[in-house]
Chain A
């Protein structure tokens, strides 16, 4: 596709369940970012992938959060044993390389009930 695609657009899950959020970056982009945005707040950095380098995981809030990027393209963010405070919009972005303009998807709105 022409832009960054995220799925699902909305996800409601019960507390304690695991969820997987998917990001399809722009084809050819080597850098991929995940952010979390709580209502009315800024973008909280979660994790950054750049090519074949080890990802920067410094923003992951707990060991319940993990992400992988397969084949340098699609990325999946997994949240295990979800808590109500995990409710937020999860945004993915990609760029042709680090240090250049990043393009965002529309986000996945996660609600933990």
Chain B
């Protein structure tokens, strides 16, 4: 079936660098996307979301970019900190259909070294 996937399973950066985590989705009908952060032993935590009528959305130190033409989603983290070390998942949904579930990709493990 269709699913959301991530380009790289791991990403290692230095503290202070900017991080970019990528995600490719295959369901062109998806119109709502979320990035989650999951720390060890915890449930996923919402970071930022974006709807398909936008191509960019900014939060605190994070930016999500959506390219519907190539079905690509990215999460940019500015000035990455050790506390950003976690597994990051993207998820997709068809928001205009209330009866659809969030589908997750496999995740990218971000490691931040001091």
Chain A residues positioned under 8 Å from B97 (CB to CB): 98-99
Asked whether A43 is an interface residue with its Cβ less than 8 Å from the other chain, the reply is yes
Secondary structure class of chain A's binding surface, majority of residues? loop
Q: Does B42 contact A (CB under 8 A)?
A: yes
**A70 CB-CB contact with B under 8 Å:** no
CA A48 to CA B100, docked complex, whole Å:
8
Whether the Cβ atoms of A99 and B96 lie closer than 8 Å is yes
Partner of A53, one of B42, B46, B99, B104: B99
A-B pair number, CB within 8 angstroms: 70
- Tell whether, in the assembled complex, residue B34 and residue A106 are in contact, meaning their CB atoms are under 8 Å apart: no
Q: Size class of A's contact patch?
A: 20 to 34
Q: Does B99 lie within 8 Å of A98, measured CB to CB?
A: yes
* Chain B minimum-CB-distance residue to A54: B99
Interface size class of B (residues with CB under 8 A): 20 to 34
A103 near B46 with CB under 8 A, answer yes
Cβ contact within 8 Å between B101 and A48? yes
Q: Is A65 at the interface (CB under 8 A from chain B)?
A: no
Asked whether, in the complex, the Cβ of A101 is within 8 Å of the Cβ of B34, the reply is yes
Among A42, A53, A100, A103, contact of B105 (Cβ-Cβ < 8 Å) = A42
Interface presence of B98 (CB below 8 A):
yes
**Closest residue on chain B to residue A104 by CB atoms:** B43
With A101-B49, A104-B43, A104-B44 already in contact, the answer to whether A42 and B89 are too (CB < 8 A) is yes
Nearest Cβ on chain B to A22's Cβ, whole angstroms = 15
Chain A neighbourhood of B91, CB < 8 A = 43
From residue B98, how far is it (CB to closest CB) to chain A in Å? 4
Interfacial residues, chain A to chain B (CB-CB below 8 A): 4, 31, 33, 35, 41-43, 45, 48, 50-51, 53, 56, 59, 91, 93, 97-107
State the B residues within 8 Å of A (CB).
32, 34, 36, 42-46, 49, 89, 91, 93-107
- Nearest first, the 9 closest Cβ-Cβ pairs linking A and B are A99-B95, A104-B43, A48-B101, A98-B98, A42-B106, A43-B104, A104-B44, A106-B43, A99-B32
